[in-house]
Structure 1
Amino acid sequence: MRAFAELLDRLSFTASRHAKLVLVRDYLQTTPDPDRGWGLAALTGALSFEAAKPAFIRKAVEARVDPALFALSYDYVGDLAETVALIWPTTEAGAEELSLSQVVEALRAASRSQVQRLLETWLDRLDANGRWALLKLMTGALRVGVSARLAKQAAADMAGVPVGEVEEIWHALTPPYEPLFAWLEGRGPRPDPQGAGRFRPVMLAQPVDEAADFPKLDPADYVAEWKWDGIRIQAVSEGGVRRLFTRTGEDISATFPDVVALLDTEAVIDGELLVMRQGRAASFGDLQQRLNRKSVDAKLMGAYPAGVRAYDLLAEGEEDLRALPFMDRRMRLEALIHRIGSDRLDLSPLEPFDSWETLAALRADPPEGEARIAEGLMLKRRSSVYEAGRPKGPWFKWKRDPHLVDAVLMYAQRGHGKRSSYYSDFTFGVWSGEALTPVGKSYFGFTDEELLALDRFVREHTVERFGPVRAVRADAGFGLVLEIAFEGLQRSTRHKSGVAMRFPRINRIRWDKPAAEADRLEMLEAMLPP
C-alpha cells in the first residue's frame, strides 16, 4: 500500500504528462504482482467496490472525531479523503505493512456490514498518506490527472511496445493483469485478444489547427463528414454475440436493447449513437434521456428511439478490415448499410468540397436540417488505415466555434485534489426579469493566476453559506461577469431556467463589465432547437 500511496501523492503534485508517464511506468516496473495489477486497475477505472460507500467513511470518522470538528474541517479542506486522512487519530497499532492486494481482496469479498470495521482497522494501521490513498481507492475518485490511456501507455513503455498492442488485448484481460505483465516482461506469450463480441480499440482524431495544418494538407486527399452530437460507439455482431460498446470499451448493451436488436449482420461498426426519428438525428438532450440507465422500458424506447449513424466498418464476417484504406472500408460499409435497410442504422454522409475555404463556409453555415445540430466536421484521409489511439495526420476534428454568453457568478464551491483549498467550482446565471437565474456550472477554463483571483473574489464577497457552497453578491449594482463558452443548449425540466448547457467553460473573466449588462435568459431560449 505504501508504494501505491507514494505514487498517488507524487502524481497529484505533478503537472507534466511525461513525468506522470515515467512515475506510472516506474511503479509498474518495481512493484510486484499482484499489487501493480490492482494499481493499474485503479488508474484505468477498472476497479470498484459495491459495498464501499462514502457514508461508511463519514460514519467511521464521526465515531472517532467530534462531528462538529469534522464538519468544520471538511468545509475548509473540501475533499473527504484528504480531510479524513489528516484528522484521523494516530494510534500505536504497530501492525505489519498492509499490501494493496490485501485491501482489494478484502473489499471485494466484504459485505456492507463488514466494510466499516475493515476501514477503521486499516485507517489505524496507515499513516496520513496511506489513509488518503486508501480512501481514494475505496471511493474511486483518484483525481490525480492520469487517464486510462496514459496508464496503458506506461505499461506498454515497460517493454517498448506500441500502446495499440496493449489496447488490442486490454478487453480480453481482467485485473490484476498478470498475463499482461508476463508478456511485457518476456515471461509469457502475448494474451490472445480474439473472442466473439470483443471490443476493438478506437481510432480518434486530432483537433485541426487551421493556420498550421491546412497549408500542409491537400483537400483532395481528404473526405469530410459531420461530427454528430451523440456518443461514439462500436456495434459488434459476431459469432452469435451482439454488443454495444462506448469508445472506452464500456458495454452498454443492456441500456440499448433496441439498438442491439438491429445488429443482425456479422460485422463491427464504428459510429455515433443518436436518438433517431424517421431517419433524422435528434439533439443530444434527447439521447441523455437514455444514457446512464441500468434498464429501459418500452415506453422510454418508444419516446426516445435510439439508433446508429455509421462512420466506419472494422470487420465483416470473419475478415478484419482495419488495415484497408478508409475509402475501401467506406465502400464496404455503404453496401452493408444498404443491405440492412433500417432507418435507425444509417450512413453518415460525406460532404463534397474542393477547397478548405469551401469547407470553412459549410462549417460556419450548415444547411437546414440535421447538420444544424452537428458539433462540426470530421476530416479523414482517404488512404488512412484504422489504427488505435490518436495518430497525427490521418483524421482531424474541426469543431464549430463555441457559443458565448456573459453570465454573472452566483455560487462557488471548493474543488478537489490540488484545488481543495480554493473555490474553483462556479455556478453562474443570466437575467430573467429583475433576478438572476442559474444556467450552468463550470470548473475549468481559467489559469492558476485567475483561480487565485476568483477565489479571492468569492471570499471577499460571500453573502451567504449553504454547507460547502458560498453565495456571492450578485445583483444589478454589483457582480462578477464571466464570459462562458459552450457547445450547445438543450431544454431541461430539471433546471429552473429550463435550459442546460453542453460543455460550459469559463472563456474570459469580464472584470470590466457591469453585472447589469450580462445576458438575459431570452437570448438563450432563442438558441434552443425547435
Structure 2
Amino acid sequence: MSMRAFAHLLDRLSLTSARNAKLSLIEDFLRTQPDPDRGYALAALTGALSFSAAKPAVIRKAVEARMDPQLFGWSYDFVGDLAETVALVWPSRPGANHEPGLAEVVETLKSASRSEVAGRIEAWLDALDADGRWALLKLVTGGLRVGVSARLAKQACANLGGVGIGEIEEVWHGLQPPYGDLLAWLEGRAARPSPDAPGRFRPVMLAQAIDEAVDFARLDPADYVAEWKWDGIRVQAVSERGERRLYTRTGDDISASFPDVLAALNFEGALDGELLVIRDGALAPFGDLQQRLNRKTVNARLLDAFPAAIRAYDLLLDGETDLRALPFVARRKRLEAFVAAIASPRIDLSPLQPFETWAGLTILRGEPPEGDARLAEGLMLKRRDSVYEPGRPKGPWFKWKRDPQLIDAVLMYAQRGHGRRSSFYSDYTFGVWREDEQGGRSLTPVGKAYFGFTDEELQRIDKFVRDNTVERFGPVRSVRAEAGFGLVFEVAFEGLQRSTRHKSGVAMRFPRIHRIRWDKPAGEADELKTLERLLD
C-alpha cells in the first residue's frame, strides 16, 4: 500500500467530528487494507510508534535548504502546523517516482541512523504529492492530531471482530506492531492472542457522572460506599512474575517517569489507585504532581522535591488470583490486608467515608473535613456488590465532582490550533485585573483554555481576534484588551494553587470556557484579589 490510503484516512479523520463516523472510517480501513500496512496505521493511531532519529528539527532543516528560510518562517507562522506547512511548500525535484509504502517508511525509520534519516525523508517527500507528504510528516513527528484516541482505535478493532473492547485491551500489552496476530483473530483466521503477559495492563472500570435529581431518588444509600475522588491521575500498578509496570488509565506505560513508585512495588499483584504527591504524610496539590508528569527521565532533585505515591482503592490481582469477578466489599477486604502487608510510605489506602443518607453525604461533599479531603475533587460512590467490569457500566460506580468555580476574565492572546483547527485562533490566554502601586489597573494572565465553545462560537471568536489584533508574535496574536474594550470569557475551573512560575502568582486546575460574555464590558471582569481570596 502506498502512503495515499493512509493519507486519505488521516485527512478524513481530521475533517470528521462525529465519533461513530471516525469509528467507521478506521474500521473500513482495517477491513480493506493489506498487512502489514494496516497494522502500522493502527500503531500510529494508538501512539505505539516513535522514531528517535526523526525529529522536527531534521524536517525544518531539510525544507530550509530548499527554499528561503525567512519565507518558510512566514509560511509556518501563518499556517501554524509544521507538517501542513512543509507539505504545501516542499519544492519537489522531478524524476522521483517511487512512492513509498507505509510499511516501508515505518520499517526504514525503525532501523535508520540519525545521519540516514534526513536523506530518506527528503527522497520520500520528493516522490509524494501534498497529501502524501502531510501524512508522512504526521507519522514521522508523531503529531497526528486527527481527533482519535487510542481507545477509539481499539474500539474500531473490536467492531471489526465483533468483540468487546475489554477483550482487545486484555491482550493489547502482549502485542507488537504490526499486530498481525490480533487482526488474524478479529477476522476469524486464528485463535485469540494470549493475554498471559507478565506485567500487563488490565482494562479499567470507570464511573458515570451522577445526576443528583434523578439518581438519588432511585438509589438506596445502603447499597453504596463512598470515598474521596482524589485529585491526581488514575494509575494501575502491576508487579507480576518479575515485571513491574505503572500504567495510566488508558494503558500508557509511565514506569520510567516514576522510579520511586516502581521501587515500592514489592508485591505480587495489581493495584488500582491514584498517583499523587504525598509529602511528610500530607497530600500535595495537583500542581506538584504536574512537575513529574510527561517526563521521560527524572533527576534526584525532582524525586526529592516531589515524592510520588499511590493511594490505592481497588485490588485486581492478589498473587496469581484474579479478583475482578468478586464483589467490591470482598475486594476491599483483600485490599486492606494487601496494603497493610506492603507497609510502604509510597502506598497507602483510600479510606471509606461513612454515611447513612444522601443528604448527609451532600453535606460532607460541600464541607469536607480538614486535611487531605480539602484537596479532593469530590466523591466516588461504589455499589457494594459491584464486580470490576471494564468500561463504564451504568449503575455500579458514580463520580460526584464538586461544582466548578467561575470567574470572568478578558481575552489577551490567541494562538492557532492544530489539525482541523489549524486555520482558526482557538487557543486563548485570558487575564484578570490587578492594581499597581499607583492605583492603576492592568491585565495579568491567569490561564489558558482551548475548549468549551461550539464551532459557531469559534468562528466568531476567531473573527474578533483577527479584527482586533494589536501585535503578532509568530503564531500568537495579542488582542486589544482594555477597560473600555475587550472580549470577556466566563471561565470554569476545578481549583487554584499558588505558583511561582506564573506572573499572577496563581495557577488554575482544568480551566475551560464556560460562557462567552459578549454582553459584558471588559472593565467589569474579575480582579486578581478575587482569585487570591479563593486561595485563602
TM-score above 0.5, yes or no: yes
> Aligned residue for 1:126?
128
Separation (CA, whole Å) in 2 of partners of 1:72 and 1:277: 48
Q: 1:274 aligns to what SS in structure 2?
A: strand
Separation (CA, whole Å) in 2 of partners of 1:87 and 1:343: 56
Superposition map of 1:461-472 within 5 A: 461-472=468-479
Paired residue for 1:244, among 235, 243, 246?
Answer: 246
Paired residue for 2:326, among 324, 331, 335?
Answer: 324
Q: 1:268 aligns to what SS in structure 2?
A: strand
Check 1:358–1:499 CA distance in 2 against 1; reply closer, same or farther (3 A cut).
same
Tell me if structure 1 keeps the 8 A contact 2:151–2:250: no
> Aligned residue for 1:442?
449
Q: Post-superposition shift, 1:91?
A: 4.9
Separation (CA, whole Å) in 2 of partners of 1:315 and 1:430: 49
Separation (CA, whole Å) in 1 of partners of 2:78 and 2:240: 54
Tell me if structure 2 keeps the 8 A contact 1:242–1:260: yes
Check 1:265–1:372 CA distance in 2 against 1; reply closer, same or farther (3 A cut).
same
Q: 1:351 aligns to what SS in structure 2?
A: coil
Which range moved further: 202-211 or 267-276? 202-211
Separation (CA, whole Å) in 2 of partners of 1:455 and 1:109: 43
Tell me if structure 2 keeps the 8 A contact 1:275–1:286: yes
Which range moved further: 27-36 or 202-211? 202-211
Tell me if structure 2 keeps the 8 A contact 1:167–1:388: no
Superposition map of 1:80-95 within 5 A: 80-89=82-91, 91-93=93-95, 95=97
1:9-66 CA-to-partner distances (Å, cap 9, x unmatched) read 1111111111111110111111111101110001011111111111222222222333
Superposition map of 1:252-401 within 5 A: 252-401=254-403
Equivalent pairs, count: 529
Separation (CA, whole Å) in 1 of partners of 2:85 and 2:298: 39
Q: Tell me, yes or no, if structure 1 residue 178 matches structure 2 residue 185.
A: no
Which range moved further: 289-298 or 150-159? 289-298
Tell me if structure 2 keeps the 8 A contact 1:313–1:333: yes
Q: Post-superposition shift, 1:183?
A: 1.3
Paired residue for 1:460, among 461, 464, 467?
Answer: 467
Separation (CA, whole Å) in 2 of partners of 1:75 and 1:265: 52
Q: Post-superposition shift, 1:298?
A: 4.4
Check 1:96–1:298 CA distance in 2 against 1; reply closer, same or farther (3 A cut).
closer
Q: Post-superposition shift, 1:303?
A: 2.8
Paired residue for 1:48, among 47, 50, 55?
Answer: 50
Check 1:123–1:297 CA distance in 2 against 1; reply closer, same or farther (3 A cut).
closer
> Aligned residue for 1:518?
525
Q: Post-superposition shift, 1:299?
A: 4.2
Q: Post-superposition shift, 1:113?
A: 2.2
Paired residue for 2:482, among 459, 475, 496?
Answer: 475
> Aligned residue for 1:150?
152
> Aligned residue for 2:438?
none
> Aligned residue for 1:507?
514
Tell me if structure 2 keeps the 8 A contact 1:228–1:375: yes
1:174-205 CA-to-partner distances (Å, cap 9, x unmatched) read 11111111211222221112133222121122
1:410-469 CA-to-partner distances (Å, cap 9, x unmatched) read 111111111111111111111122221111111111111111111111111111111111
Tell me if structure 2 keeps the 8 A contact 1:158–1:184: yes
Tell me if structure 2 keeps the 8 A contact 1:442–1:504: yes
Tell me if structure 2 keeps the 8 A contact 1:478–1:515: yes
Q: Post-superposition shift, 1:507?
A: 0.7
Q: 2:388 aligns to what SS in structure 1?
A: coil
Task: Give the % identical residues.
Answer: 72
Check 1:271–1:146 CA distance in 2 against 1; reply closer, same or farther (3 A cut).
same
Letter in 2 for 1:279: G
Letter in 2 for 1:481: V
1:76-123 CA-to-partner distances (Å, cap 9, x unmatched) read 222221222122235544624421001111111222222221122111
TM superposition score normalised by structure 2: 0.94
Give the aligned CA root-mean-square deviation in angstroms.
1.8
Q: 1:250 aligns to what SS in structure 2?
A: coil
Separation (CA, whole Å) in 1 of partners of 2:247 and 2:187: 30
Letter in 2 for 1:416: H
Tell me if structure 1 keeps the 8 A contact 2:99–2:124: no
Please list every run of 5 or more consecutive structure 2 residues that lacks an aligned counterpart in the other structure.
436-440
Check 1:37–1:74 CA distance in 2 against 1; reply closer, same or farther (3 A cut).
same
Separation (CA, whole Å) in 1 of partners of 2:37 and 2:322: 36
Separation (CA, whole Å) in 2 of partners of 1:241 and 1:254: 13
> Aligned residue for 1:402?
404
Q: 1:158 aligns to what SS in structure 2?
A: helix
Separation (CA, whole Å) in 2 of partners of 1:396 and 1:270: 16
1:357-408 CA-to-partner distances (Å, cap 9, x unmatched) read 3322222222222111101111112121112222222222111111111111
> Aligned residue for 2:77?
75
Letter in 1 for 2:54: A
Tell me if structure 1 keeps the 8 A contact 2:433–2:527: yes
> Aligned residue for 1:418?
420
Which range moved further: 234-243 or 156-165? 234-243
Letter in 1 for 2:259: P
| Structure 1 stretches of at least 4 aligned residues deviating more than 6 Å after TM superposition | none
Separation (CA, whole Å) in 2 of partners of 1:226 and 1:209: 18
1:114-139 CA-to-partner distances (Å, cap 9, x unmatched) read 22211221111111111111111111
Tell me if structure 2 keeps the 8 A contact 1:492–1:500: yes
Q: 2:65 aligns to what SS in structure 1?
A: helix
Tell me if structure 2 keeps the 8 A contact 1:278–1:343: no
Which range moved further: 40-49 or 87-96? 87-96
Q: 1:350 aligns to what SS in structure 2?
A: coil
Superposition map of 1:185-196 within 5 A: 185-196=187-198
Separation (CA, whole Å) in 2 of partners of 1:244 and 1:336: 18
Q: Post-superposition shift, 1:518?
A: 1.5
> Aligned residue for 1:62?
64
Separation (CA, whole Å) in 2 of partners of 1:300 and 1:422: 37
Which range moved further: 355-364 or 152-161? 355-364
Q: 2:429 aligns to what SS in structure 1?
A: strand
Separation (CA, whole Å) in 2 of partners of 1:214 and 1:175: 46
Separation (CA, whole Å) in 2 of partners of 1:505 and 1:147: 20
Paired residue for 1:214, among 216, 221, 235?
Answer: 216
Letter in 1 for 2:52: E
Tell me if structure 2 keeps the 8 A contact 1:279–1:344: no
Separation (CA, whole Å) in 1 of partners of 2:93 and 2:395: 57
Q: Post-superposition shift, 1:409?
A: 0.7
Which range moved further: 446-455 or 485-494? 485-494
Letter in 2 for 1:175: P
Letter in 2 for 1:233: V
Tell me if structure 2 keeps the 8 A contact 1:42–1:137: yes
Which range moved further: 121-130 or 298-307? 298-307
Paired residue for 2:497, among 483, 490, 497?
Answer: 490
Q: Post-superposition shift, 1:237?
A: 2.0
Separation (CA, whole Å) in 1 of partners of 2:294 and 2:421: 28
Separation (CA, whole Å) in 2 of partners of 1:321 and 1:263: 18
